[in-house]
């Protein structure tokens, strides 16, 4: 059964569902991310090909992402295989999609990127385009709120819509918005509820379908 929730369509195929995760689910997610952050491939600041270093710290499950491809082994960290993509996360992804789009649909995410933002961390405008499948991206946020900028598929600039993502919020982008530029220009320190298990900072988990075998 799909329970209708208040949601907002930001662009065609891009939906924001505030407060989608319960506090218990947020706690569970924080715990899981804390374990993944320890290994087998520890959380790290991703180094870009030009030598720049991302301000967020990232850990992956299912497939490892490094700019700009997915591999099973984390060649840029410690060469180990990332943790398996768990069945419960797949199920959560399916429910997220059903609630955001208001209908059940097949969804088989095989990678998740978990980003941790401290108060200074940001993410520049980019497209999620290293996947070889056009299935939607499901994004879950826990901890401090942020300014999430959701733009268009053509340029990094305007037009875009600024959305405040709070702890527990779901954001899905697929269909005509799948390759829209998006980014996180700001995190609001001290806005998260420590009851999630995250005393400070922001956690974002995005699920994707890589289309890789
Ligand atoms: O932190 C967010 O809300 C977005 C993260 C993101 O765009 C990404 O991991 O590709
Ligand atoms: Fe992204």
Residue whose Cα lies nearest atom 1 of ligand 1: it is 204
Q: Which of 114, 138, 141, 143 is nearest to 56 (CA)?
A: 114
Quote the ipTM score: 0.99
Which of the listed residues 123, 131, 144, 198 should we mutate to test ligand 1's pocket, taking the one with most ligand atoms within 8 A of CB?
Answer: 123
pLDDT in tens, 24-50: 999 999 999 999 999 999 999 999 999
pLDDT(107) > 90 = yes
pLDDT in tens, 132-186: 999 999 999 999 999 999 999 999 999 999 999 999 999 999 999 999 999 999 9
CATH number of 9-208: 2.60.120.590
pLDDT level of residue 3 (50, 70, 90 thresholds): low
3-class state of residue 202 by DSSP? strand
Which of the listed residues 183, 204, 208 should we mutate to test ligand 1's pocket, taking the one with most ligand atoms within 8 A of CB?
Answer: 204
Chain centroid, CA 203 distance in Å: 8
| Cis peptide preceding 98, ω within 30 of 0 | no
Can you list the alpha helix ranges (DSSP code H) found in the chain? 23-38, 87-101
3-class state of residue 80 by DSSP? coil
Q: Which of 110, 122, 120, 127 is nearest to 67 (CA)?
A: 127
Phi-psi category of 115—alpha, beta or left, where left has phi over 0 and alpha has psi -120 to 50? beta
pLDDT(5) > 80 = no
Q: Which of 107, 110, 112 is nearest to 140 (CA)?
A: 112
Look up residue 108 and give its two tokens. Answer: 């088989």
Question: Rounded CA gap, 114 and 53, in Å?
Answer: 16
CB of 123 shorter than 6 A to ligand 1 = yes
pLDDT in tens, 51-100: 999 999 999 999 999 999 999 999 999 999 999 999 999 999 999 999 99
> pTM of the entire structure?
0.97
């Amino acid at each position: 059964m799909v329970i209708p929730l208040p949601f907002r369509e930001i662009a065609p195929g891009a939906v924001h569902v505030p407060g989608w995760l319960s506090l218990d689910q947020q706690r569970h997610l924080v715990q899981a991310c804390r374990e993944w952050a320890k290994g087998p491939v520890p959380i790290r600041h991703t180094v870009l090909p030009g030598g720049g270093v991302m301000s967020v710290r990232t850990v992956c499950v299912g497939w490892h992402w490094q700019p700009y491809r997915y591999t099973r082994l984390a060649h840029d960290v410690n060469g180990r295989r990332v943790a398996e993509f768990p069945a419960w996360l797949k199920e959560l992804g399916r429910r997220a999609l059903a609630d955001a789009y208001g209908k059940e649909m097949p969804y088989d995410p095989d990678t998740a990127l978990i980003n941790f933002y401290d108060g200074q961390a940001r993410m520049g405008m980019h497209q999620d385009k290293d996947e070889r499948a056009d299935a939607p991206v499901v994004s879950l946020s826990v901890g401090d709120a942020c300014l999430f900028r959701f733009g268009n598929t053509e340029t990094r600039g305007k037009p875009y819509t600024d959305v405040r993502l709070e702890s527990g919020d779901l954001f899905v982008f697929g269909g005509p918005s799948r390759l829209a530029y998006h980014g996180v220009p700001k995190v609001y320190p001290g806005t998260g509820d420590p009851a999630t298990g995250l005393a400070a900072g922001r956690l974002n988990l995005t699920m994707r379908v890589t289309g890789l075998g």
